[in-house]
Amino acid sequence: MTDLTNAVAQLASEALSDAGALDPAEIHVLMDNLPVGVALVDAAFNVRIFNRKARQMLDFPDSLFANGAPTLRALFLFNARRGEYGEGDPEVQADALVERSRKREPHQFERDRPDGSVLDIRGEPLPGGGFVTIWTDVTARKRAEREAEARARQLDLVMNNVPGKLSFFDAELRCVYSNQRELVFGGVTTGEVGKTLRDLVDDAVYSEIEGYFLRALKGEATAYQRAFTRPDGSAGYLQVCASPHRAASGDVIGVFTIGQDVTDLMHTEAALKERNAELEAANEALATTHQQLLQTEKLASIGQLAAGVAHEINNPVGFVSANLSTLGTYVGNLLALADACERSLRDVVPKGSPVLAAYEAARTEADLDFVRDDIVALLDESRDGLDRVRRIVQDLRDFSRAGGNDQWQMASLEAGLNATANIALTDMKHRVTVNREYGDIPEVECLPSQLNQVFLNLIVNAGHAITESGTISLRTGVSDDEAEVWVEVADSGCGIPAENLRRLFDPFFTTKPVGQGTGLGLALSYGIVEKHGGRIDVRSTVGEGTTFRVSIPRVRPTHD
């Protein structure tokens, strides 16, 4: 299975587990955001999950899921009634598919849908019972494969009609038969019946090709290629295949040869390889663009969430802060009044009086001296807590500065880095020390929220590389020519092996265990930085740590 299939299987097992780390709502959200269709059926053959992508791929209407997940048979029957499985009784077809599902056998096949799409369908049984089915849209790949197959058939047709020199030589390498093509084994002389191989070519060519013919006479099929001059005088490339011809007894009695001018074929193959390379690059770019679009939607959601949180929190924080200020004044007045009352009481009531004794007892019971000091400390701590809430809200605003309005603008990368670090390091601050070494860099024209996402990925990865305790260093600076600014995220973690460095930015490549990483973070980060006309450089030593440097031009690229 692929890394993505493994990840889906892990989530499926989690969904069927009563003691899973994720609750069902979290699993449904994860499943709905996968780029593949997923259906999860439990041991009782109840459909537990049928994610959004699966419904889209199979063109299932929302009404089918209006009352929750339908039964497995209901899904099969719906498809059968609209002709997905060909001619036949839909009821019988649905029952047959349910029975086949009961076998819980792993399977994989591709299916052409009526809308022209092609789906790769994989079914895997789960250890605890039930099974998971994964649909992947391979329409583009199949179209490319079919186009490639069509090109291959065209190439076969061309090859079958390419002029070639067909000849038969006896055991003395004397030409017994030769067609009329002006193409020979190494020269341009027309082959004639009765001439030996040596007569047909010059000495230089004969010394080069004689060995292939002698090996064929010993029972070995041989072939060679060499440059030659074509009949029209132009330079070309010749391929000659020599096969032993055997008598009924099995003895070799001669050699069949076919010589072909493969010049055009070699040019065609080179062009096909170049074209295939272009198609592969285009497919990879398309996949990356798709992921970036998904990421942009997520960033927009984060921006909206941050704005809403800030709005909702700021209102109560404002009046709580005002109330605390007023409360501080009231407390001060009350304490002053208590002091005045105590002084008056001691001035008026003689010592040893029962009234004064009762007051002293009540004062001791209330621990008035401690309360007098502690109430001031409590108010100060409450004010400090409100200030921390304000800073958290501001960090959220700064992190999602562009929010849903993903526009190019002048922004401070240091401010974005700070806000992002404050959010990313929240759950690891007890084990990670953060060093900030900023170079007071100028603002750059950029998409702030997208670069913040790059910083987030790098900081989170740095934290994951530190297993127990360590240091993360955040640095900024300007290039020597002042055309770029750079941001570095360095860790003192485990480092990256040299063989993995060249694959770091490949989509779906991850060194994390199944279920703990998608392998998309660095690939998406690379695309975002590339969109800004920048680059990401990596330095790493196993056992010592890793440094990622993001370099961004100060001015927006003109080609964007």
169 & 239 share domain: yes
132 & 168 share domain: no
416 & 547 share domain: yes
Give the residue carrying structure tokens 């290629």: 225
| pLDDT tens sequence across 327-338 | 878 777 887 887
| Cβ-proximal residues to 456 (8 Å cutoff; 6+ apart), any chain | 399, 420, 423, 424
492 & 378 share domain: no
- Which of 365, 399, 433 is the C-terminal boundary of a domain? 399
- Which of 245, 261, 277 is the C-terminal boundary of a domain? 261
Helix (H) / strand (E) containing 389: helix 368-399
The reported pLDDT for the residue numbered 98 is 86
Domain count across the chain: 4
81 & 202 share domain: no
Looking at residue 473, which CATH number applies to its domain?
3.30.565.10
| Cβ-proximal residues to 520 (8 Å cutoff; 6+ apart), any chain | 291, 507, 508
Q: Is the pLDDT of residue 178 over 80?
A: no
Q: Where are the beta strands (DSSP E) in 428-469?
A: 432-437, 444-446
Asked if residue 466 lies in contact with residue 431, where contact means CB atoms within 8 angstroms, the answer is yes
What average pLDDT is seen over the chain?
Answer: 80
132 & 212 share domain: no
- Rounded CA gap, 120 and 143, in Å? 13
| Coil, strand or helix at 183 | coil
| Coil, strand or helix at 48 | strand
41 & 121 share domain: yes
Q: Which residues pair with 242 in a beta bridge?
A: 222, 257
Q: Where are the beta strands (DSSP E) in 155-234?
A: 164-170, 175-178, 222-229
**DSSP secondary structure of 147-168:** HHHHHHHHHHHHHHTS-EEEEE
The answer to whether residue 330 sits within a structural domain is yes
Range of the domain at 218: 163-261
304 & 329 share domain: yes
323 & 418 share domain: no
46 & 102 share domain: yes
Count the Cβ atoms, other than its own, within 10 Å of residue 478: 15
| pLDDT tens sequence across 117-176 | 899 988 888 877 788 888 899 999 888 888 888 886 784 454 445 467 778 899 999 988
448 & 547 share domain: yes
The answer to whether residue 151 sits within a structural domain is no
The reported pLDDT for the residue numbered 187 is 53
367 & 324 share domain: yes
Confidence class for position 472, pLDDT limits 50, 70, 90: very high
- Rounded CA gap, 307 and 247, in Å? 88
| pLDDT tens sequence across 405-422 | 568 889 999 998 988 888
The reported pLDDT for the residue numbered 549 is 95
